[in-house]
Amino acid sequence: MLDHAAPTATRTAALDRLKAFLPHAGRDYADLRNYDLPEEGHPHVSRLSPYLRHRLITETEVLEATLNRHSAQAVEKFIQEVCWRTYWKGWLELRPTVWAAYRKGLDRALAEADGDLAARIAAAESGETEIDAFNAWARELVETGYMHNHARMWFASIWVFTLRLPWEVGADFFLRHLLDGDPASNTLGWRWVAGLQTQGKHYIARSSNISKYTRGRHNPEWRLNTQAEPLKGGPHPDRRDPPGGRLPEPGLRTGVLITEEDLSPGYALDLLDRPSVGHAALISVSGRSPRAVSPLVTEFTHAAVEDCLNRHAGRLGPRGPVTEDVDTVLAWATDLALEQVVTPYAPVGPAATRLRQLEKALGDTGITLARPIRDWDAAAWPHATHGFFRFKENIPDLIAPLA
């Protein structure tokens, strides 16, 4: 039986999940994490991703708790996986045009989907292909908002190389339905499978591997295309400098803006020299896709934002709008006669796009938008220059202060 209960979108639930997982973060995780066992509730992975994605709990908190319980050596694999998230965020932060190119490619692919292609995409998304395992993963994703990492790799590989569907539409299907749907991890995960990220190296799903890691739940009789060539794309764009963010200025009349990118804003509030005169939330969940985003995702995101506002109520000042509309935030800031709005730095994606529009509109009325960056991101992102193997060399230094 699949667990259809949506995870509770609170920090308390995130901490409970972390506590339950910690005893398993060592040997269990290293040996068993690749097994896709939805009927058992995916017992060998943490399922922390929706919480980490919105920073209801942060990477550093997860790593710190893990290192408090185990030696770094015992949990090396788990630490590396958490750091994959940081790496992908940093990689995209240094090359933001890859996100814009993905969105353009998606618009093009959707516009060009003719009758037959549109029907094949619809069949894949509703789990009505001839590949039973693929159908089961599609349904699990739509019904629960989660898919195991190994299943994401198999699913994306079959989508691209066996079903021959546009990768951008598959990535969009994930972003519309994953509770952890993330512009960096998702776009770059799909690009990696397709052979566009580590150029010329793609991930090919094989029936024997699926059968082994689903413990025979799927005994594929269908044929997967294991001979496909990687997709071809252009070279990676030039890197920009790591973002510097912008610290709040002292002495200004300040309001706080929350986005779903960082629901642990304490570090930014600590930088204020005076109480906030009010707060608002700018949500960008509909901006994750040009198509409709799943109600599960929308509800989880809104509930997570509410949890953040409630937890920090004492430090945020009077409540303003919680909205997807930039103009509504602009009106809130001008009504309060703010001189400065402070928001935790939002990495590349729909929230950053909306913040750019807001920054311009605020600037026209003389209000500044401060976007301080977390120490973890500022320390890690500059190392996302090449592949993960080079990034990984920096992990001991990055986690040293946490142990």
Ligand X SMILES: Cc1cc2nc3c(=O)[nH]c(=O)nc-3n(C[C@H](O)[C@H](O)[C@H](O)COP(=O)(O)OP(=O)(O)OC[C@H]3O[C@@H](n4cnc5c(N)ncnc54)[C@H](O)[C@@H]3O)c2cc1C
- Measured from the CB atom, the residue of 23 and 318 that comes closer to ligand X is 23
Residue 354 binds ligand X (CB under 6 A): no
Q: Among residues 263, 269, 287, which one has the least CA distance to residue 348? A: 287
Could you give the angle at the alpha carbon of 30 between the alpha carbons of 68 and 297, nearest 5°?
80
- Measured from each CB, the residue nearest to ligand X is 189
Residue 49 binds ligand X (CB under 6 A): yes
Q: Report yes or no: 369 and 358 within 8 Å, Cβ to Cβ.
A: yes
Residues in the chain: 403
Candidate ranges 81-89, 106-114, 299-307, 327-335; the one touching ligand X (CB under 6 A): 81-89
166 to 52, 114, 157: CA distances (angstroms): 28, 12, 11
274 to 32, 62, 254, 317, 367: CA distances (angstroms): 50, 30, 8, 11, 17
Specify the amino acid at residue 198: T
Residue 18 binds ligand X (CB under 6 A): no
Residue 306 binds ligand X (CB under 6 A): no
Sole binder of ligand X in the list 61, 93, 172, 182 (CB under 6 A) = 182
The sheet with strand 319-323 has its strands ordered as: 319-323, 279-282, 254-258, 340-342, 368-370
CB of 46 to ligand X, least distance (A): 3
Candidate ranges 12-20, 44-52, 131-139, 340-348; the one touching ligand X (CB under 6 A): 44-52
Residue 211 binds ligand X (CB under 6 A): no
Residue 138 binds ligand X (CB under 6 A): no
Candidate ranges 41-49, 226-234, 245-253, 258-266; the one touching ligand X (CB under 6 A): 41-49
- Phi/psi for 230 (5° steps) reads -60, 155
User: What is the rounded distance in angstroms from the CA atom of residue 47 to the CA atom of residue 66?
Assistant: 15
Residue 172 binds ligand X (CB under 6 A): no
CB of 293 to ligand X, least distance (A): 13
For the segment 88-107, give every residue that binds ligand X (CB under 6 A): 88
3-class SS at 211? helix
Place of tokens 């569907």: 165
Sole binder of ligand X in the list 70, 95, 152, 383 (CB under 6 A) = 152
User: What is the rounded distance in angstroms from the CA atom of residue 157 to the CA atom of residue 230?
Assistant: 10
Residue 11 binds ligand X (CB under 6 A): no
CB of 44 to ligand X, least distance (A): 8
Footprint of ligand X on this chain (CB under 6 A)?
33, 45-49, 52-53, 81-82, 84-85, 88, 148-149, 152-153, 156, 174, 178, 180-182, 185-186, 189-190, 193
